[in-house]
Structure 1
Amino acid sequence: MAVAPAPLDARALEHHVLDFLAYLEFERGLSRNTLEAYRSDLLQFGAYLRSVRVDVLETQHTDLAGFLDSLAQPHDDRPASRPATLQRKAACLRSFYRHLRRENIIQHDPTADLRAPRKSQKLPQVLSRGDVDRLLRAPNGTDPGALRDRALLELMYACGLRASEATDLEVGDVDLEAGVLRARGKGSKERLVPVGREAITAVRLYLERGRPMLTATSDDRHLFVNRRGTGLTRQGLYKIVQRHARAVGLEDRMSPHTLRHTFATHLLAGGCDLRAVQEMLGHADIATTQIYTHLSAERLKDVYFSAHPRAA
């Protein structure tokens, strides 16, 4: 009579996951949101391993591929995962098992040949120079909110800031005399970015006439604050961007990240070196920055076919 396999120890997986997350938090400095995403992916992976009765330390490439294949198929309780989601989960598993090998917990790497479906590279939305001018002029007036919104939009476009980087800025992070800004990006990595003349003017005006009125009853150190004098949230920033985009007819093409995409594309179109753009954006891998070279090429093609008399 066949002997049933011993039940898997769920506590062993939990121990290894917690140790891995501690490594990511304290040695790699990853954000809470990223840690929670890794935790969720690994718990889902653990549930799959229990269903196929495979121990986390004895997995082979076929087990990992089976997990991703199961997610790629629709089920009664959920749709099929998108290629971008599968890519993220595959990256999580690679990082997890390399950590186990680095700690000498396993002697092999089952993720060595792991591949997830490639996500299609969708070119991001980018504004024209005319669109940018209209957007940046949308916050008119001299009331504190208008001065803040103008400074915020100018600075995001001038420096290619992520939404979280803009809301995390403190007053001391912007040196208007030197014309530089210190941004804290993913993984708490800091970088210095030049600030252009128009943005310096807008931020200086906001600091002199807008922010003091907004923080009359607050000692908050954030550069951009709401009408209660506390730091803007990402949701608050999104509403500001959408309000002004709607005012100039750009709401369907506009998000806070659009200004970052536009920043990079306009720099490359103006002849800026790709490595310099990578550094200003805070990209760890230059391959991430290279999408903007493709985007610049697409824009050049559009101009060519609309302007050349024998192109169409």
Structure 2
Amino acid sequence: MSNPKRLKRRFLRYLKLERGYSPNTIEAYTHDIDYLLKFLQDEHLAVEDVRLPHLEQFAARIYEFGVSSRSQARIISGVRSFFRYLVLDGEIEDDPSELLESPSRGVHLPEVLSVEEVDRMEAAIDLSKWEGQRNRAIIETLFSCGLRVSELVTLRFADIFKKKHCLRIVGKGGKERLVPISNNALKEIKKWMYDRNVMNIKPGEEEYVFLNRRGAHLTRTMILIMIKNTARDAGIEKTVSPHTLRHSFATALLKGGASLRAIQEMLGHEDISTTQIYTHVDMTTLREEIMCHHPRNMKKKLSDE
């Protein structure tokens, strides 16, 4: 009988060393497998004895615990990856999760900001504070380049190619991509440099573009709090996060006529199905425009009045 904890350690090592997954992704897989191993322990089941009915019972169990459909789908996906690895590694012969169905997640339309709302956020920043220009540069860079917040906090000067107007980004799985950067974003970063150059920077942190007041590079949580507070100060009632600016970047590109393939490349999506969510966002906006401005709807509105 195999030791489940040992299998888990080997699986996570495989994700890190052979698949090149980031620490955040590996942590998510760790939680997924922990759900499974707890279930197997409760049911007195060995990993090699698991069959499809057991996994269907497992899926029902996490549903009963009130886990959201989105989280259920992620857990099931992690469990599938675990069993595929066990087959690959020769621990089991057949994959019991092959026919395991995920709960329907539906289409989740992300919140997006208009250009005017992004401008309002930047205008709401108090530039008299030492971090004011830094925060303005961060918001402009996120909106202009569509970066993940993890990519922004690790951005280094060596990754900025000013003459070519692009950034070199190392995304998920260690994959590199080149992302265009606007003149506005470069200008805001340049202004931030005046403040940054007079800071006391911690050894080893010199290459990071964005720093906190202690001279160390920022964390994702710091940026999340800053963006939420800035949106509040700008009077924006939407739920705004760093990822909202990434969604807004992609939606603006789609409305401007960019192809899904081009947006996929700039966002660093491995699968274009992830990028296709923005077609739903654009169609929602288009539907609202039609309902407000199409002559048929306008006539109906007048008759209702």
TM-score, normalised by the number of residues in structure 1: 0.89
The one-letter amino acid of 1:178's match is K
Q: Which residue of 2 aligns with 1:159?
A: 145
The 3 A distance-change label for structure 1 pair 164 and 251 is farther
* Paired residue secondary structure (2:48): coil
Q: Which residue of 1 aligns with 2:115?
A: 129
Q: Which residue of 2 aligns with 1:272?
A: 258
TM alignment of 1:228-243, pairs within 5 A? 228-243=214-229
2:202 is aligned with 1:211: no
* Paired residue secondary structure (1:181): strand
The one-letter amino acid of 2:75's match is K
Aligned-pair CA distance for 1:216: 5.7
2:72 is aligned with 1:86: yes
Aligned-pair CA distance for 1:86: 1.2
Aligned-pair CA distance for 1:293: 0.7
* Paired residue secondary structure (2:243): helix
Aligned-pair CA distance for 1:131: 1.0
2:30 is aligned with 1:39: yes
Q: Which residue of 2 aligns with 1:51?
A: 42
The one-letter amino acid of 1:210's match is D
The 3 A distance-change label for structure 1 pair 47 and 218 is closer
Q: Which residue of 2 aligns with 1:145?
A: 131
2:7 is aligned with 1:16: yes
Distance 1:44 1:304 in 2: 46
* Paired residue secondary structure (2:282): helix
* Paired residue secondary structure (1:226): coil
Distance 1:265 1:17 in 2: 39
**Bigger CA drift: 249-258 or 196-205?**
249-258
**Mapped contact 1:61–1:114 kept (Cα < 8 A):** yes
Question: Unpaired runs of 5+ in structure 2?
Answer: 301-305
State the identity as a percent: 37
**Mapped contact 1:214–1:225 kept (Cα < 8 A):** no
**Mapped contact 1:135–1:248 kept (Cα < 8 A):** yes
The one-letter amino acid of 2:148's match is R
The one-letter amino acid of 1:13's match is P
Distance 2:73 2:278 in 1: 21
Q: Which residue of 2 aligns with 1:171?
A: 157
Q: Which residue of 2 aligns with 1:257?
A: 243
The 3 A distance-change label for structure 1 pair 50 and 243 is closer
Distance 1:45 1:216 in 2: 45
The one-letter amino acid of 2:141's match is L
Q: Which residue of 2 aligns with 1:76?
A: none
Q: Which residue of 2 aligns with 1:114?
A: 100
**Mapped contact 1:242–1:251 kept (Cα < 8 A):** no
Aligned-pair CA distance for 1:215: 4.0
2:50 is aligned with 1:64: no
2:300 is aligned with 1:309: no
Distance 1:243 1:49 in 2: 44
Aligned-pair CA distance for 1:142: 6.2
Question: Unpaired runs of 5+ in structure 1?
Answer: 1-8, 74-78
TM-score, normalised by the number of residues in structure 2: 0.91
Distance 2:286 2:136 in 1: 30
The 3 A distance-change label for structure 1 pair 140 and 218 is farther
Q: 1:296 aligns with which of 279, 282, 287?
A: 282
The 3 A distance-change label for structure 1 pair 177 and 47 is same
Aligned-pair CA distance for 1:17: 1.2
Distance 1:251 1:308 in 2: 28
**Mapped contact 2:80–2:97 kept (Cα < 8 A):** yes
Distance 1:185 1:203 in 2: 21
Distance 1:100 1:65 in 2: 19
**Mapped contact 2:202–2:215 kept (Cα < 8 A):** yes
* Residues 216-239 of structure 1: CA deviation (Å, up to 9, x unaligned): 676622110011111111121122
Aligned-pair CA distance for 1:257: 0.9
Aligned-pair CA distance for 1:144: 4.2
The alignment covers a number of residue pairs equal to: 297
